[in-house]
Structure 1
Amino acid sequence: MASCLVLVSALLLTLLIAWICAHSRRRRPGEPPLLTGWLPFLGVTLDYARNPLGFLRATQRKYGDVFTCAIAGKFFTFVTDPFSFSVVVRQSRNLDFQKFALGFSHRVFGHADFTHPQFTESYREVHGIFRQTLQGAALEQLSESMLCNLQTLLDRAGPGEHGWLEEGLQSFTNRIMFEAGFLTLFGKDAGFLPERTSMQKAEREFLEFDGAFPLLAAGLPIALMARAQRAREALAEELRHDELHQRRCVSELIQRRMDVFDRMSLDEAGKARTHVCMLWASQANTLPAAFWSLYYTLRCASALSAARSEIERVLSGQMWNSPDGRIRLSREQLDSMAVLDSIIEEALRLSSASMMIRVASADFTLRLDSGQTAAVREGDHIALYPQLIHMDPDIYPDPTEFRYDRFLDERGQRRAHFSKSGRRLKLFLMPFGSGASECPGRFFAVQEIKQFLVLTLWRFDLQLCGGGALDPDGRRAGLGVLPPARDVPLRYRTRTHTHTHTTH
């Protein structure tokens, strides 16, 4: 009882100190408007979390294009003018992304603190591996592996002669994309494919950990979330180096990361947790992005017709000419699918709610595109919320509607630019971030989603059974692509033409 009273007293004291600190801050000359709220520690967190886009729009109307908010014990200066996004992205001298990102990753995934000087050079080498293995020839090899794995899994998923199968669309997308992505990066076991029960277990553990991510990102220690911690450690056990060394077809990306981590003074658990981080980064946004891309295509007859026409054009004759009945897609063929590109980009525009964060490394003055200046304090967070652009009706008319051809020009090619108030924007679609925080795996992510759409729409007739529009789950706002608020029933069967080609 006494220990509980001490703990409660300590917690109350901490909150009191945080409240005093938050409310002792006063706006200095030249600084943006300051919103501290009245709640200790939380500041305006509840107002922001309830509806981030609505809160930022309302605050922008009241205070202008730049303002500072006290959120969860930290101060975030939001820049909301879309023409100033590129100004912030270019501010590498005064704004640091890596320190924030590595500190966040260390806290959530439990691996080593790579901001420590002893890891500086090694981590630069690790970061360089992304550029070397997720572009060019290495990317083509990775995409070929993904395409092969997707086909194997879809062969297994197909109803064959048994007519229609029923499953949730999210369940269908997750199980196919998770296993294919896992195998592509981390390889296969001694058999051709891991036992299905093993992959089902890994998928459940991933989704359990991922489901807790909003609370972890908000600062709740994982030690207070027993199920999420168990899931993370179970994934780490699966991705221990001694386990990975026994697998076949491990990607060059993972092999080279393993080599660097083996040279670093990391314990085995720490190495494995870096792979859990890699697994999460490769899946957390790709799974919902694939879901939304297929969902919107199936809900829009014109999108489905245009997508299938494009797929037929590219795959015409392949099934007869391929001795093993397998589809092969070159990078040039994937790049030529402008309709699928537009579908994916439009799905990302509607579902992405990421927040780009930089930390001020010193006091400095930020000059916006308009010429307005804002004094920024060392340690404050500078935040961009790209959904302000994605849902701006001046940039995207009827922004809540899905238009499969929104990113196509009059010739049916990828649209090169968008404008606001008659002025061309440098940044108009930012689901993968930009600048130092731009996702290094964005090219692979788009290719694997496109492969999934090609194979699924080519092989199956699919019907959504749920009525009404489906909304994203806003609880993950700020973390990337939002998953659906619920699953939607799906019926699917093997398309007749696919069966005919395969048995020709």
Structure 2
Amino acid sequence: MELISPTVIIILGCVALLLFLQRKNLRGPPCIRGWIPWIGAGFEFGKAPLEFIEKARIKYGPVFTVFVMGTRMTFVTEEEGINVFLKSKEVNFELAVQNPVYRTASIPKNTFLTLHEKLYIMMKGKIGTFNLYQLTGQLTEELHEQLENLGNNGTMELSNLVRHLLYPVTMNILFKKGLFPTDERKIREFYQHFQAYDEGFEYGSQMPECLLRNWSKSKKWLLALFEKNIPDMKTYKSAKDNSMTLMQAMLDIIEMERKEEKSPNYGLLLLWASLSNAVPVAFWTLAFVFSHPTVHETIMEGIASVFGTAGKDKMKVSEDDLKKLPLIKWCILEAIRLRAPGVITRKVLKPVKILNYTVPCGDLLMLSPFWLHRNPKYFPEPELFKPERWKKANLEKHAFLDWFVAFGSGKYQCPGRWFALLQIQICIILILYKYDCSLLDPLPKQSPLHLVGVQQPEGQCRIEFKQRK
């Protein structure tokens, strides 16, 4: 029997070692699959998704995959994975969200991919930092009008108070003056349908409409509202400066690029994007401020120094006024940090290496702003409401703190972030200027049920307000 030569053994050994190392390099992250085909870990994940993510991180390490409803979601929680999420050209935002956009607003995938960048650039210009402060007068006037409707005093659930102010203001400015109804029955009907749509949005983005009958009904009602009002939105002209609304600019691009497509779907998407996060952010900011007497008192001293102490005048708010009250903006950003979205996502286009793992093409790469903002390495004393930490941010140059990713990241950060911050700043100033306010309930916890968007409160939080004399 002829013996194998040492040279052949060495070659075979090298090949075996190469295959072993190659296989090791292609090793995927630990995967939580559950035991039900297709559904995977869906039931366990859906009970309390935020808690699930943190428990999985502790058990499996900084990179792990969760298989839910036929989808592989790979979570990254430490620097190397976060940098891949933020900077890699092998991950894509638009492809990650095209399915949810189709399910929630019925916008065809090819239309979304064709229009998204053009619409994003338009919005970034129209409500970005360059044109932003042209809206302060309009925002102030609209908010004064809605505050008149609150009366001189009362008790109200804080979320409802914020909705009462921001729903009509946002719709009248971004779409057209008078779009928000004034008839009490129609107002209640709008509240009912938008809240049902908003609260079910996360489920609607993942599940067939036939399984969400009430949510589907509200979605159709809202689409019909836009269908009916699109002609008036197109021809609307501002009585003051004849400027084009954001919705008009959006309609121009849609009709230029996709003449056969209907526009109400984008109206619904814009409505949800402009209200779904602004309302809870304003809620949490006010709730945190009222729960911290020293912060509340300092803000009131600042408002009195800029606008005086009386609360009856319909004062105007300017860009210079806002710069004199930085603490309010710090409070808003600190509230967002503490109640940030559960996840933001990208789709993996080509396999990407993270630590010793290879994340395969097709996975959704997931980053949790909520948990990133609770990492003491990036935010010392992360559970505390400390608005003063934002003193270090260069907000004059529109830069946030490092590792703050509540508005997304990179090329496709939320284009409406500066408008939302401005709107909430002015809203808080006018409320605190006009009313003495106090909470009647303890600061609520955030709901553990949602990953999409700013965290919602769990339980009621009532406020008492009395007009200043």
- The number of aligned residues is 441
Deviation string 1:438-497 (CA, Å, 9 cap, x unpaired) is: 11111111111111110000000112112x341112222x2011121122222111111x
Q: TM-score scaled to structure 2, two decimals?
A: 0.85
Check if 1:457 corresponds to 2:432: yes
Aligned-partner Cα distance in 2 for 1:187–1:318: 32
Superposition pairs of residues 297-446 of structure 1, within 5 angstroms: 297-316=289-308, 325-362=313-350, 364-367=351-354, 372-408=355-391, 426-427=402-403, 429-446=404-421
Q: Secondary structure at the match of 1:479?
A: coil
Distance 1:447 1:112, change over 3 A: same
2: CA distance between counterparts of 1:142 and 1:102?
31
Asked if 2 retains the 8 angstrom alpha-carbon contact of 1:175 and 1:203, the reply is no
1:32-43 correspondence to structure 2 within 5 Å: 32-43=29-40
Relative to structure 1, the CA distance from residue 202 to residue 193 in structure 2 (aligned partners, 3 Å threshold; closer, same or farther) is: closer
Equivalence for 1:472: 446
Does the 8 Å contact 2:156/2:462 carry over to 1? Answer: yes
Q: Pick from 434, 440, 463: which aligns with 1:490?
A: 463
Q: 1:272 aligns with which of 244, 264, 270?
A: 264
Find 1:141's aligned residue among 109, 134, 137: 134
CA distance in 2, matches of 1:265, 1:389: 39
Distance across 2 between alignment mates of 1:312 and 1:243 = 41
Q: Cα RMSD over matched residues?
A: 3.1
After superposition, the C-alpha distances for 1:338-358 in whole angstroms (9 at most, x for unaligned) are 211221112112212331111
For residues 90-239 of structure 1, the aligned pairs below 5 Å read: 90-91=87-88, 93-114=89-110, 120=114, 122-159=115-152, 164-189=153-178, 194-217=182-205, 219-239=206-226
Offset of 1:376 from its aligned partner?
Answer: 2.1
* 1:68–1:75 contact (8 Å) kept in structure 2: yes
Q: Are the structure 2 counterparts of residues 398 and 180 from structure 1 closer, same or farther at C-alpha, using a change threshold of 3 Å?
A: same
| Distance in 2 of aligned mates of 1:27 and 1:328 | 64
TM superposition shift of 1:396: 3.6
Q: CA deviation at 1:387?
A: 1.6
Q: Decide whether aligned partners of structure 1 residues 437 and 414 sit closer, same or farther in structure 2, where only a CA change above 3 A counts.
A: closer
Matched-pair contact (CA < 8 Å) for 1:349–1:390: yes
Would you say the 8 A contact 1:142–1:251 is kept in 2?
Answer: no
1:88 to 2:85 alignment: yes
Q: Does 1:262 align with 2:231?
A: no
Q: Are the equivalent residues in 2 in contact too, given 1:31–1:375 (CA < 8 A)?
A: yes
Of structures 1 and 2, the one scoring higher in RCO (CA 8 A, sep 6+) is 2
Determine the C-alpha separation between the residues in 1 that align with 2:226 and 2:253: 16
Of stretches 99-108 and 41-50 in structure 1, the one that deviates more from structure 2 is: 41-50
* Residue 205 (structure 1) shift: 1.5
Worse-matched range after superposition: 278-287 or 222-231: 222-231
In 1, are the aligned partners of 2:344 and 2:366 still within 8 Å (CA)?
Answer: yes
SS for the counterpart of 2:38 is coil
Letter in 2 for 1:489: R
- 8 Å CA contact 2:32, 2:41 repeated in 1: yes
- Measured in 2, the distance between the counterparts of 1:277 and 1:309 equals 39
AA in 1 matched with 2:172: L
Aligned to 2:5: none
User: What amino acid maps onto 1:331 in structure 2?
Assistant: E
Q: Give the distance between the partners of 2:443 and 2:309, measured in 1 at CA.
A: 37
**CA deviation after TM superposition for structure 1 residue 215, in Å:** 1.3
Unaligned runs of 5+ in 2: 1-22
Change (3 A) 1:200 1:459: same
TM-score by length of 1: 0.79
Alignment CA distance shift 1:238-1:365 (3 Å): closer
**Identity among equivalent pairs (%):** 22
Question: 2:288 aligned with 1:292, yes or no?
Answer: no
